[in-house]
Structure 1
Amino acid sequence: MTAPYYDVDARPILRAGGEPFSAIMAAVNALAPGQSLRLLATFKPIPLFQVLGNLGFEASAREIGAGDWEVIFTPVGGEPDAAAASEPGKAGSADEIWPEPVAEIDNRDLEPPEPMVKTLEGLEALSPGQTLAALLPREPVFLFEELEARGHRWRGALEPEGHYRVVIRRG
């Protein structure tokens, strides 16, 4: 018999303007072996697919109405899929070598949508394969969607100081 889902409803946190990442990661750490995580969110959390994919989870998402999403993260065991690691938006394997960023921009003091606009402008100035690092005031969910649509790859993390640092490789 499989364990029931471990439920995380991030919608109240998101609607209050908060960041649910730490609550989600705490839930991941509390999972029983083989147990899946069920996440409820106010948007399709594409960046989280990458993060949990790197931890060995497969995502299954469906819209449940009113713009809300249910995502089931199921452990798949073994190493992350090498083919998936080469897709746009995927971080790739930990041993993959990326070039040092050509530039680093600090967008932490800008109001939306300026952090995304400035980051995309900086990225457009690069040649394919070059990287750009950007400091952002929060996890750039809409930027990730745009990067994926444009065929770029990224790696990012919430820094201990509370801002988000993303390194983007131009596709």
Structure 2
Amino acid sequence: MQKIVTLDVRPLLAAGEEPILAIIKAADGLAEGQTLRLLAPFRPVPLFSVMQRRGYIHEETEQGDNIWQVDFIRAQAAYQLSPGSALEAVDWPDPTVFLDLTRPEPAEPAARILAAIRAAKPGHVIFALLPAEPAILLPELDARGHKWAGNYASDGTGYRLLVLRGDKP
């Protein structure tokens, strides 16, 4: 199953057609966990409220050359945490360390996250962006007394991990 379903409405608009029905049909056809990626020649502001009423949130990016990319994802899926995540993460302080580990060597993410935890003070939060869920690291964090919360980015580009440092490094 494709994680991202792309709909380019530029040809429809160039032909003088209204793309809203194609957009709604594409959104209604999404399977659980899929994102609708819309490509348009302008920022489709009126569509944002239409899709919000249908239960979607959006992320928008101007690509240049009159191309806007807008990703629509069901709101509940956007905030779904991985099993084992600390539900109280919404009340944690803002992260003090940000790690982009999307292109590391194989063992590097775990080592860098653990090093950041050792350097942080108890109660500090570390944010890491990873290429995938660090399945081996998560039980290690639990065993060391740290709390964590994580989920996949809505556009499928990576895994977001928050770690609340416990009393022991």
Q: TM-score, normalising length from structure 2?
A: 0.47
Q: State the structure with bigger RCO (CA 8 A, min sep 6), 1 or 2.
A: 2
> Which has the higher Rg, Structure 1 or Structure 2?
2
